[in-house]
Amino acid sequence: MSPYPESRNVILLFVLASLPLFFSAHVEDPEAVVADVMRSIENTTTEAQRRQLSEYHCLTGNPIDDCWRCDPNWMKNRKRLADCGLGFGRKAIGGRNGEFYLVNTSRDDDDYRNPRPGTLRYGLRQKKPLWIIFKRNMSFKLKRHLVIESDKTIDGRGVTVRISDGPCLVIRFANNIIIHGLHIYNCKKRLVDGDGIQIFRGSNIWVDHNYMSNCEDGLIDAVFGSTAITISNNYFTHHDHTILLGHNDNFTMDKKMQVTVAFNHFGKGLIQRMPRCRFGYFHVVNNDYTRWEMYAIGGSAGATINSQGNKFVAPNHIFHKQVTMRPNTPKSVWKHWNWLSSGDEFHNGAYFVESGSKSSSIYAKAWSLKPKLSSLVGRLTKEAGVLKCQKGSPCWVRL
Ligand SMILES: *[C@@H]1O[C@H](CO)[C@@H](O)[C@H](O)[C@H]1NC(C)=O
Ligand SMILES: *[C@@H]1O[C@H](CO)[C@@H](O)[C@H](O)[C@H]1NC(C)=O
Ligand SMILES: *[C@@H]1O[C@H](CO)[C@@H](O)[C@H](O)[C@H]1NC(C)=O
Ligand SMILES: *[C@@H]1O[C@H](CO)[C@@H](O)[C@H](O)[C@H]1NC(C)=O
């Protein structure tokens, strides 16, 4: 037996990664996906304004939340969530077509190869679809990262689930996963990089309404030909390398990467990479950015960035007002990259340096009916992070 089983695995992963994709997520027409996102924002915000009458603030205008939160019986209809995705990761239905799996202990077995039924690890490694829920509040301090197999939903609604102070979540060569309602923080490097959520050749992945902070590597890293991802409604804070989308500048397999980053709150103490993109197509829409320390949105290797209706509040530091960053690249090269800002709002001196072609076939501008899309951001991100849904009562906000 090799004393370094992990390094052997890593070599194997590199070999596998060079094979053609064996999952079905194919490159979509970005214009169609972006137009669909913008239409549903338009739709739900109009609807919310029209019906904003009752004591309960059930419709918020957030198209993802409004799709399921108005059901007072959300606990009985948990799988409704799977129909509420938006953007490039909208096809993630997680464990919708499977059984529920109840995690009844936060203990993690020493023998990670043979976890016991009832543990989170056991549920995550099953090959069949599962909708994973938790019996009560639980904190997981792991000795070893949790690997999520295909067709899983981790649904933290109604309880408080923390994964912290050890290695955290890893998706590898897996497809169709929803991660909703977890507190993920202080993730440590141990065999794996120390990311909050590492996505390594994953597709159809939806990360919604989580709280994430302070990990040793990225909060979310998607690399090695991962695609069809939506990162929505999360609350990010106190971290350096926030979100990395794309392995490195030579890894052309990431050309197929398509990611939607929507309705997130990029809060205090974040330094950079919100996100940092390579090669693919990135729709960054209606996020709230509060005083990054270096830059907000970065990229290289010809990434296409479509920034719409975000609210950017620059830090006070005079050298860090620019939203954008193209590390180590001369202007003669990056001037051809398609980076566009439309409907964004800038405060405290923030500015976005655009580049490339502004043709609508790249960005799908045609939909843009709302003149001031960014005015919605406050409302749409108000409840970013873990929702305070209580068992047995509706999960909407009392005004
Ligand atoms: C917009 O709302 C209408 C009426 O409620 C609905 O039929 C339609 O599917 C919605 N469109 C989108 C893109 O959500
Ligand atoms: C936890 O669930 C597993 C199977 O789902 C069951 O075998 C075990 O007895 C349960 N443990 C407790 C403490 O309820
Ligand atoms: C679960 O955690 C929440 C938030 O931390 C807390 O308000 C609630 O009282 C806890 N529930 C139980 C049963 O301990
Ligand atoms: C990418 O390739 C170039 C030239 O082939 C090389 O100089 C550079 O170090 C590589 N970069 C990375 C991050 O591997």
Residue owning the nearest CA to atom 1 of ligand 2: 118
- Which residue in this structure is represented by tokens 């904003």? 52
Query: Cα of 366 to ligand 2 centre, how many Å?
Result: 54
Is residue 137 assigned to a domain?
yes
Query: Cα of 179 to ligand 4 centre, how many Å?
Result: 34
Is residue 2 assigned to a domain?
no
Is the dihedral angle over the CA atoms 349, 352, 353, 354 positive or is it negative? negative
- Ligand 1 pocket: which of 43, 59, 64, 367 to mutate (most atoms within 8 A of CB): 43
CA nearest 223: which of 30, 7, 10, 31? 10
> What's the pLDDT score for residue 37?
93
Is residue 337 assigned to a domain?
yes
Q: Is 137 in the pocket of ligand 3 (CB under 6 A)?
A: yes
Q: Is 51 in the pocket of ligand 1 (CB under 6 A)?
A: no
In the numeric block, which tokens belong to residue 180?
A: 């909703």
Is residue 248 assigned to a domain?
yes
pLDDT at 26 over 50: yes
Is residue 221 assigned to a domain?
yes
As a whole number of angstroms, the distance between CA 83 and CA 96 comes to 9
CA nearest 334: which of 318, 349, 356, 312? 356
Q: Is 181 helix (H, G, I), strand (E, B) or coil?
A: coil
pLDDT band at 209 (very low <50, low <70, confident <90, very high): very high
Q: Is 100 in the pocket of ligand 2 (CB under 6 A)?
A: no
CATH of the domain at 257: 2.160.20.10
Q: Is 88 helix (H, G, I), strand (E, B) or coil?
A: helix
Highest mean pLDDT among 7-16, 59-68, 296-305: 296-305
Question: What are the φ/ψ torsions at residue 203 (nearest 5 degrees)?
Answer: -145, 160
Cβ-contact 257, 305 below 8 angstroms: no
Q: How far lies 313's CA from each of 289, 325, 350, 387, in Å?
A: 6, 16, 6, 24
User: 22-54 burial string, b = 16+ CB within 10 Å, else e?
Assistant: ebebeebebbebbbebbebbbebbeebeeeeee
Of 16-25, 156-165, 167-176, 288-297, give the lowest mean pLDDT range.
16-25
Is residue 102 assigned to a domain?
yes
pLDDT at 371 over 80: no
Atom of ligand 4 nearest to the CA of 248: 13
104-113, long-range: CB < 8 A, 24+ apart: 104/135, 105/138, 106/138, 106/139, 106/140, 108/140, 108/142, 108/143, 108/144, 110/143, 112/143, 112/144
Cβ-contact 49, 33 below 8 angstroms: no
Q: Kindly state the helix (H) or strand (E) to which residue 30 belongs, with its residue range.
A: helix 30-50
CA nearest 230: which of 202, 201, 261? 261
Verify whether residue 273 is a known catalytic residue: yes
Active-site choice (121, 157, 172, 273): 273
> What's the pLDDT score for residue 8?
52
Please give the tally of structural domains in the chain: 1
Query: Cα of 44 to ligand 1 centre, how many Å?
Result: 8
In the numeric block, which tokens belong to residue 352?
A: 């976005």
Q: Is 297 helix (H, G, I), strand (E, B) or coil?
A: strand
pLDDT at 24 over 60: no
Which domain range does residue 321 map to?
A: 30-388
Cβ-contact 151, 179 below 8 angstroms: no
Atom of ligand 3 nearest to the CA of 137: 1
Residue owning the nearest CA to atom 12 of ligand 2: 104
> What's the pLDDT score for residue 34?
92
Cβ atoms within 10 A of the Cβ of 252, count?
Answer: 13
pTM (predicted TM-score) = 0.92
3-state helix, strand, coil in the chain (%, to 5): 20, 30, 50
Cβ-contact 273, 241 below 8 angstroms: yes
pLDDT band at 192 (very low <50, low <70, confident <90, very high): confident
Is residue 15 assigned to a domain?
no
Residue owning the nearest CA to atom 2 of ligand 2: 118
Q: Is 300 helix (H, G, I), strand (E, B) or coil?
A: strand
Residue owning the nearest CA to atom 2 of ligand 4: 250
pLDDT band at 9 (very low <50, low <70, confident <90, very high): low
Amino acid code (one letter) for 272: Q
Is residue 236 assigned to a domain?
yes
Q: Is 46 in the pocket of ligand 1 (CB under 6 A)?
A: no
- Ligand 2 pocket: which of 104, 135, 136 to mutate (most atoms within 8 A of CB): 104
Query: Cα of 367 to ligand 1 centre, how many Å?
Result: 14
Q: Is 43 in the pocket of ligand 1 (CB under 6 A)?
A: yes
As a whole number of angstroms, the distance between CA 308 and CA 266 comes to 15
Cβ atoms within 10 A of the Cβ of 10, count?
Answer: 13
Residue owning the nearest CA to atom 5 of ligand 2: 118
Q: What is the pLDDT of residues 259-288, one digit of tens each?
A: 999 999 999 999 999 999 999 999 999 999
In the numeric block, which tokens belong to residue 300?
A: 């290289």
pLDDT band at 2 (very low <50, low <70, confident <90, very high): very low
Amino acid code (one letter) for 343: G
CA nearest 65: which of 48, 89, 50, 53? 48
